[in-house]
Structure 1
Amino acid sequence: MKFLDSPSRNLFFTGKGGVGKTSVACATAVKLADAGKKVLLVSTDPASNLDEVFGVALENHPTAIPAVPHLFAMNLDPEKSAAEYRERMVGPYRGLLPEAAVKSMEEQFSGSCTLEIAAFDEFSRLLGDPTATAEFDHVIFDTAPTGHTLRLLTLPSAWDGFMEQNTTGTSCLGPLAGLQAQQKLYQESVKALCDANTTTLVLVARAEGSALREAARTSDELAELGVRNQHLVINGVFQAVDASDPYAVALQQRGADALERMPEGLNAFPHTTVPLFPGGILGIESLRRLGTTDSATATDTAATSDGELNDLAYLSDLIDDLVAPGHGVILAMGKGGVGKTTVAAAVAVAIAQRGYDVNLSTTDPAAHLAAAMNDERLPNLSVTRIDPAAETAKYSAEVLANAGANLDEQGKALLEEDLRSPCTEEIAVFRAFADAVAAGTNKFVVLDTAPTGHTVLLLDSALAYHREVTRQTSEMPEAVENLLPRLRDPDFTRVLIVTLAEATPVHEAAALQRDLRRAEIEPYAWVVNQVLSSLPLSDPLMKQRQTHEQPYLREVQDQQANRMAIIPWQLQSPTGLQGLSQLMHGDLSPSTGS
């Protein structure tokens, strides 16, 4: 890994879920420690698996890794910190405000932005206070702050005035108000991040279009804030061993195509290519091999999964039950890059082919699936697009006109930055989502845009407070007023959680399910995309990957899902009616181009 030729003291690893940033961070820590450097590895990921990787129980203080002299690791707990901030903000109002108002405040501080800023608070003392890590030669963080968080923390100190005048309870600003005493430490932390002599930001991506686009977006955001010492790691690059295996050849070609179309901005940075590690990254020896030429060598060419998971259902096996009510809403939910838009399109096509009227509502910016289906003229399937940028701009303008009317310039700057957060887009799209759900009373509506449980509870608490204060529920639009009962009705709304058979996507999906259940929404089924276990593979590396995914399939099947269906890995991207139908039925024939 080229960034280790002359490593900076601080190394931050960032990337979307499932790209392997934790594995690359751990391998980096081991390699530096093996070179005789004293290293501290820090994770602020709520779903951290450092304990599993190293085989050592970690806490919120440096713990020695016995198998690697000079290496120490620790897990910080941003969820615990976020809970403490939430109580600090809400506690003084218990017994003074109506219960609905207190619940609204609690939910306001339960979003992802609150957690992210809490994570920043956890590692800021390690980054901004030189005495906290003075005994270490290198400090490695496997989670980096987003540009949005850094902009919030570097804005003028207008927090007091803004919070006094702001009555909207915007979700991202609550924790900041409770952290003003830390502002000097935050300033030092941001300064350290921007110092190219001491800090390197390592962007981790895979040879996939969505992962590379996310890396480019993150790179641009952080570069604008002065974090310009960046290095790109392209992880998991696959090279086929058996040229007669069409799946292996297709995977290799798909990666090559993605790298050829890599966003131009990423080419400006030095980069490292890490070959695909076919098995799980567990244990010190696997970490030492990661990034070396032998990491892509199959060590167990006889490994096979034939017969171990032969009772897996395909996506088509869910359709009979999904169409039984004759109408309603089907939500495809999941983290970015797992294929929820494709799953939503496949389900919509399958239902329409049975003769039902279906509306597919998508936020797919390319709209390639919509275009393909419209070109083929399926008469009872309509496709509409919710434009997140347009919805967010409209919502932000309304908030600025109302909540920002009496703020000074610093207060407005803080409000404008708050409105750039992911929470704002989710709430803005939520309004368009409510109208789309309402159409499910007389047809099927399939959406790849779905609110998290946090957003549902945010709306629930806000509506409860509104009703208690105004006693005028008649002012509420019908679509919004009836949205929550519809989402919570299992006969009206079916939630499909889409994931991949890998550690991070499965754990993120499990967190999503907990969030939904907290909002009293029970997922109908899990859909595991890009599964290899049912494929007739001959390439030894692909067969190792096939074996590696099985524990995660079993975890979903036995521990997480009420129902589970799989979608086999496709030779070609499934677009158009034929491609989506093949995906739905698990067509494995290479000759069809599925």
Structure 2
Amino acid sequence: MKFLDHPPRFLFFTGKGGVGKTSIACATAIQLAESGKRVLLVSTDPASNVGQVFGVTIGNQVVGIEAVAGLSALEIDPQAAAQAYRDRIVGPVRGVLPEAIVKGIEEQLSGACTTEIAAFDEFTALLTDSTLTVDFDHIVFDTAPTGHTIRLLQLPGAWSGFLEEGKGDASCLGPLAGLEKQRSQYKAAVDALADGHRTRLILVARAQIATLREVARTHEELAAIGLSQQYLVVNGVLPASETAADPLAAAIHEREQAALARIPAVLKRLPCDRLALKSFNLVGLTALRQLLGSADDAMTEIDPAHTAQTSPAPLAAPDLATLVDEIAVDGHGLVMLMGKGGVGKTTLAAALAVELASRGYPVHLSTSDPAAHLSDTLDAALENLTVSQIDPHAETERYRQQVLESQGASLDAQGRALLEEDLRSPCTEEIAVFQAFSRVIREAGKKFVVMDTAPTGHTLLLLDATGAYHREIARQSRNADEHFTTPMMQLQDPKQTKVLLVTLAETTPVLEAANLQADLRRAGIEPWAWVVNNSIAATTVVSPLLRQRARNELREIDAVASRHAKRYAVVPLLAEEPIGTARLRKLANREAEPVAADGM
């Protein structure tokens, strides 16, 4: 493995949920320890299952892994860290500042930014205080801080009181309140991350065009702030040996190889390893020791009882057409698809829009995803369908100028400089995009509006807490007594808005979707349905490896159906990519002929 050649002291694994970060980090820690090194494995992933992987209880204390000499582990609980962090900041001002201000601070501290900063706060000492890690040769981190987090840490602290006085705009800067005392330690930590002799960042991806594009953006974002010592691991590549007599497996293999051939140019310069897709769950030492092996090892732990050539019957579950039937009843409304990157939101949004338009309803399909290529996905104009793409960069610049011209007009030079710094925070983009979305939302009273990539629950709550949109709508009303509906009010109304959470039938994506659902509920938005995308269990396969993975999916699909979703649909993994209006309709119309694997 190239990423294990002459490894430095700190190894960070980063990537989207479900790509295999935790498994690869654990396998790396085992391999280093069994080579004679003393290794500490640290997880800051809120979806971490390091303890389950090793079959031991791991918490916020260093625990030795008895089965592997030289290996210890530590799990930082990001939620607990975030709560302690909030208590430390809000506690001293509760009862001192007006309740409205305290609530505003609490809301600023409620989102993902706070969780990231709090987790970074927890492991900063591991990067900077050598006395804490003197017993270890290597520290392996499952989940690196994002470029977003590091940019936040690099912002100056002088705006803290500035925001509390109401001069700043809604942003995610709140999580940094009260951090001035730790700034020297944070700077040392960021310096350690940027030092290639001490730190190596391993970007983990899958062999999918959309996922590789996202990883390319992560690479550029981290390199731009000095973290240039990066390696790439493409995980879960289907072995060519699995393609015999299985048209679906052959199609997947061909698709993955095409994606790897078109890998973004910025990633081509990185040292790269490819790991074969495994059939088994990566739990236990035997499985983890095989993860970094060759493609020939992929079949080692397949259950002999499941090697017969006859395929199990495809999963019986509601399909996407069932959801479309229910959506279509109202004749109009807002449909938002939400979920983490790489789960297929853009494709499913396009499929829903195409099917609704094909039924004769006017539809506006809108996306703010910079990686979304709707023109390629749709391939042709369709009657009743309007398509728009919101440019996040253009909207952010427009929003910055708007705020500077209004709020910044009466500020002195220092105040304006602080406001400009506030507007450079990473969450400004999400707020700016929501402004653009709010313009599109108004159309949902007369047509269907399908939105790909919606703002998070935290952003919605933050905007609502500031009252920014209520005030803006009120200002725009000609009559002070005129009734108006804000975007937030519309999103909270189940008669007007249906939120669909998109996930994959894998542990981490399901957990992340459940966390997103909790975030939305806190904002008063109840998700309408879940969509489990690209399911092998919903197909017919011959490949022994894919059949075993299909069985592994059943537990996650059951969790969605029985614990998380009020209604759900399962979309099968297809032999042909759903590009073009005809194929998109087959995803959401049960009367259309299915995209059969043997049609390749």
Shift of 1:440: 1.1
User: Is 1:328–2:329 an aligned residue pair?
Assistant: no
Equivalent residue for 1:428?
Answer: 432
Q: Deviations over 1:38-82 (max 9, x none)?
A: 111111112211122111111111111222122111111232232
Checking the alignment, whether the CA contact within 8 Å between 1:162 and 1:407 is kept in structure 2 is no
2: CA distance between counterparts of 1:477 and 1:90? 37
Equivalent residue for 1:144?
Answer: 144
Kindly report which structure 2 residues correspond to 1:394-543, keeping only aligned pairs within 5 A, or say none. 394-401=398-405, 406=411, 418-463=422-467, 481-543=485-547
Which amino acid is the alignment partner of residue 596 of structure 2?
S
Which amino acid is the alignment partner of residue 295 of structure 1?
D
Structure 2 residue corresponding to 1:341, chosen from 332, 337, 346: 346
1: CA distance between counterparts of 2:10 and 2:84? 28
Equivalent residue for 1:20?
Answer: 20
Equivalent residue for 2:386?
Answer: 382
Checking the alignment, whether the CA contact within 8 Å between 2:90 and 2:105 is kept in structure 1 is yes
User: Is 1:296–2:298 an aligned residue pair?
Assistant: yes
2: CA distance between counterparts of 1:488 and 1:569? 32
Equivalent residue for 2:64?
Answer: 64
Equivalent residue for 2:564?
Answer: 560
1: CA distance between counterparts of 2:182 and 2:248? 53
Q: Deviations over 1:314-365 (max 9, x none)?
A: 1001122111222211111111111111111111111122222221112254
2: CA distance between counterparts of 1:419 and 1:281? 43
Structure 2 residue corresponding to 1:589, chosen from 571, 577, 596: 596
Shift of 1:373: 4.2
Which amino acid is the alignment partner of residue 426 of structure 1?
E
2: CA distance between counterparts of 1:433 and 1:351? 20
Shift of 1:402: 5.1
2: CA distance between counterparts of 1:480 and 1:33? 63
Shift of 1:167: 2.6
Which amino acid is the alignment partner of residue 280 of structure 2?
G
Checking the alignment, whether the CA contact within 8 Å between 1:328 and 1:445 is kept in structure 2 is yes
Shift of 1:590: 2.7
Checking the alignment, whether the CA contact within 8 Å between 2:19 and 2:235 is kept in structure 1 is yes
Shift of 1:438: 1.7
- Aligned residue for 1:527, secondary structure, equals strand
2: CA distance between counterparts of 1:464 and 1:156? 25
Checking the alignment, whether the CA contact within 8 Å between 1:26 and 1:41 is kept in structure 2 is yes
Checking the alignment, whether the CA contact within 8 Å between 1:301 and 1:540 is kept in structure 2 is no
Shift of 1:111: 2.1
Kindly report which structure 2 residues correspond to 1:42-121, keeping only aligned pairs within 5 A, or say none. 42-95=42-95, 97-121=97-121
Checking the alignment, whether the CA contact within 8 Å between 2:168 and 2:422 is kept in structure 1 is no
* More divergent stretch after superposition (99-108 vs 505-514): 99-108
Equivalent residue for 1:268?
Answer: 269
User: Is 1:363–2:364 an aligned residue pair?
Assistant: no
- Aligned residue for 2:236, secondary structure, equals strand
2: CA distance between counterparts of 1:563 and 1:160? 43
Checking the alignment, whether the CA contact within 8 Å between 1:33 and 1:68 is kept in structure 2 is yes
1: CA distance between counterparts of 2:483 and 2:252? 44
Shift of 1:414: 6.7
Structure 2 residue corresponding to 1:353, chosen from 358, 375, 387: 358
Checking the alignment, whether the CA contact within 8 Å between 2:534 and 2:571 is kept in structure 1 is yes
Which amino acid is the alignment partner of residue 333 of structure 1?
M
Identity of aligned residues (%): 52
2: CA distance between counterparts of 1:424 and 1:7? 37
Q: Deviations over 1:425-476 (max 9, x none)?
A: 2111111212222211111111113222212211221229977x99989589
2: CA distance between counterparts of 1:396 and 1:169? 10
- Aligned residue for 2:520, secondary structure, equals helix
Checking the alignment, whether the CA contact within 8 Å between 2:212 and 2:264 is kept in structure 1 is yes
User: Is 1:287–2:288 an aligned residue pair?
Assistant: yes
Shift of 1:578: 0.6
Aligned length: 590
Equivalent residue for 2:222?
Answer: 222
Which amino acid is the alignment partner of residue 57 of structure 2?
A
Checking the alignment, whether the CA contact within 8 Å between 2:347 and 2:578 is kept in structure 1 is yes
Checking the alignment, whether the CA contact within 8 Å between 2:101 and 2:164 is kept in structure 1 is no
- Aligned residue for 2:235, secondary structure, equals strand
Checking the alignment, whether the CA contact within 8 Å between 1:345 and 1:369 is kept in structure 2 is yes
1: CA distance between counterparts of 2:148 and 2:508? 23
* More divergent stretch after superposition (257-266 vs 142-151): 142-151
Kindly report which structure 2 residues correspond to 1:304-315, keeping only aligned pairs within 5 A, or say none. 310-315=315-320
Which amino acid is the alignment partner of residue 534 of structure 1?
A
Kindly report which structure 2 residues correspond to 1:95-244, keeping only aligned pairs within 5 A, or say none. 95=95, 97-155=97-155, 158=158, 167-168=167-168, 170-240=170-240, 241-244=242-245
2: CA distance between counterparts of 1:105 and 1:48? 28
Checking the alignment, whether the CA contact within 8 Å between 1:237 and 1:273 is kept in structure 2 is yes
Which amino acid is the alignment partner of residue 79 of structure 1?
Q
Q: Deviations over 1:480-537 (max 9, x none)?
A: 8432222122222111110111111111101011111111211111100001112221
1: CA distance between counterparts of 2:529 and 2:566? 6
- Aligned residue for 1:134, secondary structure, equals coil
Summarize the Cα distance change of 1:558–1:24 in structure 2 as closer, same or farther, 3 Å threshold.
same
Q: TM-score, normalised by structure 1?
A: 0.91
Which amino acid is the alignment partner of residue 16 of structure 2?
K
* More divergent stretch after superposition (55-64 vs 160-169): 160-169
1: CA distance between counterparts of 2:468 and 2:197? 52
Summarize the Cα distance change of 1:40–1:107 in structure 2 as closer, same or farther, 3 Å threshold.
same
1: CA distance between counterparts of 2:434 and 2:473? 23
Which amino acid is the alignment partner of residue 252 of structure 1?
H
2: CA distance between counterparts of 1:59 and 1:145? 20
- Aligned residue for 1:3, secondary structure, equals helix
Q: Deviations over 1:75-105 (max 9, x none)?
A: 1123223223333443444445554443222
Shift of 1:210: 2.2
User: Is 1:550–2:551 an aligned residue pair?
Assistant: no
* Unaligned runs of at least 5 residues, structure 2: none
Q: Deviations over 1:352-382 (max 9, x none)?
A: 2222222111225466434664734x32222
Summarize the Cα distance change of 1:319–1:466 in structure 2 as closer, same or farther, 3 Å threshold.
closer
Which amino acid is the alignment partner of residue 287 of structure 1?
L
2: CA distance between counterparts of 1:251 and 1:389? 34
- Aligned residue for 2:116, secondary structure, equals helix
2: CA distance between counterparts of 1:252 and 1:178? 51
Which amino acid is the alignment partner of residue 291 of structure 2?
L
Summarize the Cα distance change of 1:408–1:118 in structure 2 as closer, same or farther, 3 Å threshold.
farther
Which amino acid is the alignment partner of residue 360 of structure 1?
L
* More divergent stretch after superposition (173-182 vs 299-308): 299-308
- Aligned residue for 1:331, secondary structure, equals strand
Shift of 1:29: 0.5
Which amino acid is the alignment partner of residue 209 of structure 2?
G
Checking the alignment, whether the CA contact within 8 Å between 2:340 and 2:513 is kept in structure 1 is yes
